[in-house]
Amino acid sequence: MESTRASGSDQPLDATVAVIDLPVRFAETDAMGIVHHSNYLVWFEAGRIAWMAAAGMPYSEIAAGGHHFAVTSVNVAYRTPARFGESVRVATRLTRLRSREVAFAYEVRRAGDDAFLASGVSEHICVDLQGRTAKIPDEVMAQLRQGTVAPANGA
């Protein structure tokens, strides 16, 4: 996947990564003790929220300003199952930032042994409180751009 560059920077957008560890809860597993596939989307969302917080633009501030990032597409590639009692590490990168769109890439690994579990991408469009497509507010755009050049957590 080719990354876009931050405006005024030679650094690609996806150079900044936010990493969070999450415990696998029993409620997230199926009858086989394996994490149900839908929970990876929940983990992606947690990664997105962590990335925005690390970038200095908490999602709660975007929402309080009258905007949301509605999901327009999600793609997940599953490799190895996660199980109850393990912890997963979700690494999130911003890969696209346009006037009305953002996209994030995710990598999920088992925290204990770094086994590769899944990867994915989510695409979002900025909407107002009525659900109409909107331009990302300038102050939000500026902070997200800054988050791509200021180190978040992780590597």
Q: What backbone phi and psi angles, to 5 degrees, belong to 72?
A: -110, -20
Which of these is catalytic: 30, 113, 114, 128? 30
d(CA 129, CA 110): 37
30 is an active site residue: yes
Beta bridge partners of 89: 21, 109
Q: Which residues are catalytic?
A: 30
